[in-house]
């Protein structure tokens, strides 16, 4: 971006006269002084620390100007200042202004699982024909979405923006901020059920992504999900669906999943084989969603095929490593909810191996009152014939350990309370043999990345 401070002041309804700095050039916007580059507008947000305390750090890093909250003490005199009632709201207002100025088509993506992968697939396909900007890292909330918008180049033709959610009203705000041309809902799972209570309420909240959907826009959603089918009946915008059922607009007719790639065919292009560079039939649904978005933008099937085969993930959360005991380790330690864990374990159960399959599972967080039954539900996809040994770590995993007592021999279910990760690692190092396959899956707060480091 490139704007003069006078234009920014108008966009955010500045409460002070900035005429003395009117022609100051702003080349970026930043709220984190560690990432700030010269020429940036600094936004002092309220977090664990007051962002105003870091303005002098921003000055030293080369900030060209700063927002400042009305009435906040110690107004700086060594940097141009734009005084606003609320720096966060001003930041969001500036993002909306810049979005309208650049005027790209907008694709907004949400879902309990798969939104980052779908975002990356969608951006990769659309880049074959358009200048595309997409959400970086996990910038998918009230701060991250404005940052994504303000990070666009002025020649951006399509903005692909990921939207997260942990409470009602959040997607309503974000959808109205970006006003998407296409909205995507990948699926309804149990993520954040602690805050919502039921999957039905999660579905209600996910549908908020349509609140800002343009009148001539389109909703792309998982048609296998009854909760979504029930909620789209009053939606006037066009709808397309994906999923495994043949009632969907787009569905797979054949899937072959390997260790590092998955090949599939679909109903709309029956003679074409598509491939994605990742394991898991569950990732095909993400590809189908991206393909329907591409269809909205009239992208050729051959471009979809080549883009999907080579797309790069923002963060490959499901990644293979070679272990020190000459075993292969599938690491998925950044995030976990019951749906995702069951899907990963189903795929892992089918991976060919000359040795044992060993699952190392940690607590899934933010499940609230449903935590016990949802942890127990993982037993449905654990078969001692396919996954021979199960390691369980954390307070909540005790429920699964108890559930597996009737399914596995006692020596093949090994439970470790939180705080005993080191003991578990010692046991793993003694148990894992050449040719074994190991999967690590837990919420990031359980820090199974330490287990991965010890096994590599």
- Domains of the chain, by residue range, sit at 3-87, 104-310, 319-455
Q: Where are the beta strands (DSSP E) in 126-232?
A: 132-134, 158-162, 182-185, 218-222
Q: Is 117 annotated as a binding residue?
A: yes
Return the CATH number of the domain spanning residue range 319-455: 3.90.190.20
Q: Where are the beta strands (DSSP E) in 22-80?
A: 25-26, 28-30, 40-42, 65-69
Q: Which phi-psi region, left, alpha or beta, contains residue 211 (left: φ > 0; alpha: ψ -120 to 50)?
A: alpha
pLDDT in tens, 27-82: 999 999 999 999 999 999 998 899 999 999 999 999 999 999 999 999 999 999 99
Q: Is 323 annotated as a binding residue?
A: no
Q: Is 154 annotated as a binding residue?
A: no
Q: Is 113 annotated as a binding residue?
A: yes
Q: Report, as an integer, the average pLDDT of 170-175.
A: 98
Q: Are domains 3-87 and 104-310 of this chain identical in fold?
A: no
Tell me if 390 sits within 8 A of 218, measured CB to CB: no
For the entire predicted model, the pTM comes to 0.89
Q: Where are the alpha helices (DSSP H) in 29-84?
A: 55-61
Homologous superfamily in CATH for domain 104-310: Mur-like, catalytic domain (3.40.1190.10)
pLDDT recorded at residue 260: 87
Rounded CA-CA distance 380/425 in Å is: 26
Q: Is 114 annotated as a binding residue?
A: yes
- Cβ contacts of residue 218 below 8 Å, gap of 6+? 181, 182, 183, 237, 238, 239, 240, 296
pLDDT recorded at residue 112: 86
pLDDT recorded at residue 335: 80
Q: Is 412 annotated as a binding residue?
A: no
Q: Is 258 annotated as a binding residue?
A: no
- Calculate the alpha carbon distances from 295 to 206, 255, 288 in Å: 23, 21, 10
**Phi, psi angles (nearest 5°) of residue 320:** -90, 140
Q: Say whether domain 3-87 belongs to CATH 3.30.390.50.
A: no
pLDDT recorded at residue 166: 84
């Amino acid at each position: 971006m490139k704007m003069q401070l006078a234009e920014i002041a108008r966009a955010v309804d500045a409460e002070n006269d900035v005429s003395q700095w009117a022609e100051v050039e702003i080349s970026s916007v930043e709220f984190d002084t560690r990432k700030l580059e010269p020429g940036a507008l600094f936004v002092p947000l309220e977090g664990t620390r007051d962002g105003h305390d870091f303005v002098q750090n921003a000055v030293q890093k080369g900030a060209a100007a700063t927002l400042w909250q009305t009435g906040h003490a110690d107004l700086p005199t060594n940097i141009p200042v734009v005084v606003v009632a609320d720096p966060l709201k001003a930041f969001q207002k500036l993002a909306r202004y810049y979005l309208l100025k650049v005027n790209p088509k907008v694709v907004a993506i949400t879902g309990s699982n798969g939104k980052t992968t779908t975002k990356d697939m969608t951006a990769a396909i659309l880049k074959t024909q358009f200048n595309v900007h997409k959400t970086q890292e996990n910038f998918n909330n009230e701060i991250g979405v404005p940052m994504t918008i303000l990070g666009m180049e002025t020649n951006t033709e399509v903005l692909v923006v990921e939207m997260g959610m942990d409470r009602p009203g959040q997607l309503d705000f974000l959808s109205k901020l970006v006003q998407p041309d296409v909205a995507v809902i990948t699926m309804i799972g149990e993520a954040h059920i602690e805050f919502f209570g039921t999957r039905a309420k999660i579905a209600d909240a996910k549908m908020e992504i349509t609140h800002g959907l343009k009148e001539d826009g389109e909703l792309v959603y998982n048609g296998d999900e009854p909760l979504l089918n029930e909620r789209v009946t009053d939606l006037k915008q066009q709808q397309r669906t994906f999923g495994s059922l043949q009632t969907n607009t787009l569905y797979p007719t054949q899937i072959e999943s390997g260790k590092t790639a998955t090949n599939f065919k679909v109903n709309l292009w029956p003679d074409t084989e598509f491939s994605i560079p990742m394991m898991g039939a569950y990732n095909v649904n993400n590809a189908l969603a991206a393909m329907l978005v591409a269809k909205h933008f009239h992208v050729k099937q051959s471009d979809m095929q080549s883009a999907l085969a080579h797309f790069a993930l923002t963060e490959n959360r499901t990644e293979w490593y070679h272990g020190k005991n000459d075993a292969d380790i599938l690491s998925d330690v950044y995030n976990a909810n019951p749906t995702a864990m069951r899907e990963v374990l189903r795929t892992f159960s089918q991976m060919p191996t000359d040795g044992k399959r060993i699952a190392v599972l940690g607590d899934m967080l933010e499940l609230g009152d449903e935590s016990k039954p949802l942890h127990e539900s993982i037993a449905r996809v654990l078969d001692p014939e396919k996954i021979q040994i199960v390691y369980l770590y954390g307070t909540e995993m005790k429920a699964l350990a108890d559930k597996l007592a009737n399914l596995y021999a006692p020596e093949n279910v090994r439970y470790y309370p939180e705080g005993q990760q080191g003991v578990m690692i010692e046991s793993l190092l003694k148990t894992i043999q050449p040719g074994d396959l190991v999967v690590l899956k837990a919420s990031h707060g359980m820090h199974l990345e330490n287990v991965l480091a010890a096994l590599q």
